[in-house]
Structure 1
C-alpha cells in the first residue's frame, strides 16, 4: 500500500525554536516527540534564505539558479516538474493548502502556475490576501474562500477536512503556513490572541549579543511557533483518530530562519545560521525510529527523500539526495558540505561544513537583477565548533588563510557542479588577530 505524505511547512522558523533544537521554553512538544521517535535532521539548512527561491528548491529538488527562481516574484517555470507531478504520476491525489509564492500575481494562482497540484486552496502571497484573523484563500476555480479562526487554525482546519475526505486514495498534501513570518504590512510578529505573546525567557545568544528587533518581536514570534506546534499536534491527532498514522509520512520543516535585523536591514537573506538553519523531522513508514541524522541535510534533499520513501524513482536532474540510506544510523556516501545561494540583500554564496561557514559576495552586482557572478570577494568565515552563534568573523585572520583557501576551492567547485559558471574569489587582506592558530588538516573539517 502506498503511504500518504503530508508536508507541514512553516515560514521563517529558526531551528532553535524547537526543544530538539535547544530551546528550553517548551514551545514544540509535538515536533520534539516526532524528532525523538521518528527521524530528526539535526543540522538542516536552507540553500536559499528567502521565501520564493526556497520554495522552488523544495518543490523541484533543484537549486534556485537552476530553475531561475533566484529571488522572489519570479514564477516557477511551467516546464519545471515538482513533487506534485511525480506523486500524481504515481497514482496520488495531490493537494496544496496555504501560501504558494511561486506564481506571477499576489492573490489567486492560475491553474497552470500551481506546480501540478490537483486540489487547491491557497494564495500566492498569503500575507497580501489575509491578516492573522482574516484568512482569504482561493479554491480550484479561483473563487475566494474566507476561513474562520486564526490563520494557523483556519488552514489546519482545512487540512483536517481534506484528510478526512481522502481516506481511500493515497494523497500528497502540502500544508504551507505564513507563520511565524512577520505580517509585512505591519512589520510585526502577532501571536494569536488566545495564545498571547510568550515572555522570551530564553534569548538565543546571537540575538542577545546583537539585539536587532528581538526584544520587540521575539515574544510574538514564540507565540506563533507554539500555535504552529499545536496545529501540528492536531494533524497528528486527526491521523490517529482515522487510523492513518502508520500509513502516513509526515514532514515538518521551514523555508528559512530569522535573524531579527541583526545581520542586515531585515530578517533573513544572509549566510548566518540564524537565516539558514531550519527545523526538520520526519515520521511514518520508513522514518519511524530512524534516529538522528547528523549529516548536513539541505532543503534540496527533501524532494528526492520523499519520492524515494514512497518507491517513486528519483529523477536524475534532481540535485539533492535521498536521506533513506542514512536512516537508523547507517553509513552511506553523503556530501560533507552544503551550498547556500543568497539574493535580494546581496549576490552571495556560502559553503557550510560541519565546522566552518565561509561566505563570499559579488560586491559589484545588483542583488535583485543579477542571479550570479564570475567574481566574488570573501566576506565571512566562522568557526562553528567554537563560535556556533557566529559572533566572531575570522575572514581577516592570517591564521585562517589556509582555511579560506581550502573552502574557497570547495565553494567554486560546488558552484560549478550545481550548474553555475566558473568563478574567481578575491581574498581579503589577512592580519594577525590575537593568539589564534589552525592546525594542519583542520581546514578540511
Structure 2
C-alpha cells in the first residue's frame, strides 16, 4: 500500500545506498580489530557511523545460503514465511520470495523513493520487478567468473528473456560499482533514491585484479586458532561444493593461500565501494545519504576444517552491519544481538518509512540512537534439516540432526562460551556442570523454532546423550 506523504516531507528523507557483499565474514574488517586485512573505506564508515557487531543470518534450507539469506534481508520475515514453502524431500532451492509480502525496496518505492538495483539478485525476477523502477547490470545467478559476468539490462516488463542476457568482461566488483556511479552521477529527480548495490565479491573464484591479487602473501598469513585439518564429525553437508575448494585433510599452506586470496578480494571490494562514496561526495549528497553495508553470510575458509558457509559457527552466520548517515551516531559499536531480518526495519526507521504489517524483524533504530539497550534476548539460525543454533550473546548451543532424507549428519550438540572462547574451539557440551545451561538454551531454541514456523519444530532439541560428548 502506497504511503501518503507530501513533497516537503519526502524531501527531508535521506537518500539510501544499500551495499551487500557475498561471503564477507563479520570480523574481516580492519576497524573491527582484524589487522590482517586492509579495509580503509569500510573502516571510515565504522568511524563515522554505527557498527552492529553481533548480527547473525537467519539461515537457509539449501546449500546456496545466499538466496534465502537475501530473502530475509529483503522481507524482514523469517525464512519459513518469507519464501515459497519448501519441500525438504526434494531439497528445493529457497529463492522465490512470496508474492504477498512487501520487500524493503518495494516499501521504499511506495514511500516515494526512486528505487534502482545494481548487481546480484539471487531471488526471483518477479520480486525484483515489483521493487525497483530502474536498474543496471542485473545478475540473476548465484555466482560467476568475475571476469565473465552474465547480466541483463533493466526490463520494465519484468520478463528478462534468456536471449537478452549478455556477458560483461569488466571485473564484477568494478562493473557493479561503475553502474552505481552512473546512476548517482546522472540522478536528477526531485525525490530521494534507494540504490541497491549487490556485489558477488568476495565469493570465489577469488582471483582479484592486480595489485590486489598480489597484496597478501601466504607466508605472511597467520592461521586462526580454530584452524583444523578436518572437522571432527559429520555436519551433514561435508562434500557440498564449497567444501571441495580445498583438499582433505586441509593443508596449512593451501589454507593460507585461500585466506590471502580472500583478503585480496575484500580489499578490492573496499576500494570499489570507495568510488561509490566519492561519487556521493562529488554530487554533494554524501552527508544526506544513509549508507548501509552488510553481507548475505560469512565463510569458514579453513576454520574448523571447513571451507564454506554451510554451518552455524560464528565465522559463517555472523555478518558485518554498518550504518552511516543522517540520524546515525558516529564511532559507535553495538554488541546487542540482531538478526538479518532486522535490517529492513532499521532502514525504514532511519528513513521514517512505515513498515508493512507482516514484517517480523525488529528495528535497531532505537538502539542505535541510544533509546534502548537492545531488542533481542537470543538469536538463532538454521541450516537445512541438519543444524540449528541459538545464542544469548555469551553462550551458544548448536544442535545437529541426522537427516532422514540424505542419511547424513550427527545426532549431537555443541556448547560454546563465546566470551571466553570466541573462536569456538572448546566444546563444553560434555561437561555435566553445563546441563542446566544446555537445557535453558534448548528451551529458548525450541520456542524460537515454534514461533518462526521452523520445519523441524517438532524435533527433540536435546539429544538423549546430553551431558556426554556426542560421537
From 199, 222, 227, the counterpart of 2:217: 199
From 84, 92, 95, the counterpart of 2:113: 92
Aligned to 2:149: 135
Query: Residues 205 and 266 (structure 1 numbering): CA distance in 2 closer, same or farther, change over 3 Å?
Result: closer
Does 2:162 align with 1:144? no
1:230-249 map, 5 Å: 230-249=271-290
Query: Residues 282 and 120 (structure 1 numbering): CA distance in 2 closer, same or farther, change over 3 Å?
Result: same
Once residues 225 and 121 of structure 2 are traced to their aligned partners in structure 1, the CA distance between those partners, rounded to angstroms, is 30
TM-score, normalised via structure 2 length: 0.81
Aligned to 2:237: none
Once residues 292 and 112 of structure 1 are traced to their aligned partners in structure 2, the CA distance between those partners, rounded to angstroms, is 33
TM-score, normalised via structure 1 length: 0.85
- Deviations along 1:42-92, whole A, 9 cap, x unmatched? 222212161111001000001111223677453222223211211111111
Q: CA deviation at 1:432?
A: 7.4
Does 2:414 align with 1:384? no
Q: CA deviation at 1:229?
A: 0.6
Aligned to 1:180: 202
Does 2:70 align with 1:55? yes
Asked if the contact 2:393/2:418 (under 8 Å) is kept, the reply is yes
From 404, 426, 445, the counterpart of 2:462: 426
Aligned to 2:122: 101
Q: CA deviation at 1:131?
A: 2.0
**3-state SS, counterpart of residue 308 of structure 1:** helix
**3-state SS, counterpart of residue 410 of structure 1:** helix
From 45, 50, 55, the counterpart of 1:34: 45
Asked if the contact 1:98/1:126 (under 8 Å) is kept, the reply is no
1:268-283 map, 5 Å: 268-283=309-324
1:145-164 map, 5 Å: 145-147=166-168, 149-164=170-185
**3-state SS, counterpart of residue 30 of structure 2:** coil
Once residues 312 and 261 of structure 2 are traced to their aligned partners in structure 1, the CA distance between those partners, rounded to angstroms, is 24
- Deviations along 1:141-181, whole A, 9 cap, x unmatched? 34335545321111100011011122433111111111111
Query: Residues 249 and 113 (structure 1 numbering): CA distance in 2 closer, same or farther, change over 3 Å?
Result: closer
Asked if the contact 1:196/1:220 (under 8 Å) is kept, the reply is yes
Aligned length: 412
- Deviations along 1:228-262, whole A, 9 cap, x unmatched? 11111111111011001111100111011111254
Q: CA deviation at 1:41?
A: 0.6
Once residues 424 and 295 of structure 1 are traced to their aligned partners in structure 2, the CA distance between those partners, rounded to angstroms, is 29
From 120, 127, 132, the counterpart of 2:135: 120
Q: CA deviation at 1:6?
A: 0.9
Query: Residues 73 and 298 (structure 1 numbering): CA distance in 2 closer, same or farther, change over 3 Å?
Result: closer
1:233-382 map, 5 Å: 233-260=274-301, 262-263=303-304, 266-289=307-330, 291-332=332-373, 334-343=375-384, 346-366=385-405, 377-382=411-416
Once residues 468 and 80 of structure 2 are traced to their aligned partners in structure 1, the CA distance between those partners, rounded to angstroms, is 37
Once residues 282 and 175 of structure 2 are traced to their aligned partners in structure 1, the CA distance between those partners, rounded to angstroms, is 20
Q: CA deviation at 1:394?
A: 1.8
Asked if the contact 2:24/2:320 (under 8 Å) is kept, the reply is yes
Does 2:196 align with 1:171? no
Query: Residues 17 and 53 (structure 1 numbering): CA distance in 2 closer, same or farther, change over 3 Å?
Result: same
Asked if the contact 1:290/1:327 (under 8 Å) is kept, the reply is no
Aligned to 2:234: none
Query: Residues 284 and 365 (structure 1 numbering): CA distance in 2 closer, same or farther, change over 3 Å?
Result: farther
Once residues 62 and 239 of structure 1 are traced to their aligned partners in structure 2, the CA distance between those partners, rounded to angstroms, is 31
Q: Which moved more, 1:52-61 or 1:386-395?
A: 386-395
Asked if the contact 2:221/2:256 (under 8 Å) is kept, the reply is no
Query: Residues 113 and 291 (structure 1 numbering): CA distance in 2 closer, same or farther, change over 3 Å?
Result: closer
Query: Residues 261 and 320 (structure 1 numbering): CA distance in 2 closer, same or farther, change over 3 Å?
Result: same
Aligned to 2:436: 402
Once residues 269 and 133 of structure 1 are traced to their aligned partners in structure 2, the CA distance between those partners, rounded to angstroms, is 26
From 57, 67, 81, the counterpart of 1:66: 81
Query: Residues 334 and 290 (structure 1 numbering): CA distance in 2 closer, same or farther, change over 3 Å?
Result: farther
Q: CA deviation at 1:322?
A: 0.7
Structure 2 spans left out of the alignment, 5+ residues: 1-11, 87-91, 231-249
Q: Provide the alpha-carbon RMSD of the alignment.
A: 2.6
Asked if the contact 2:224/2:303 (under 8 Å) is kept, the reply is no
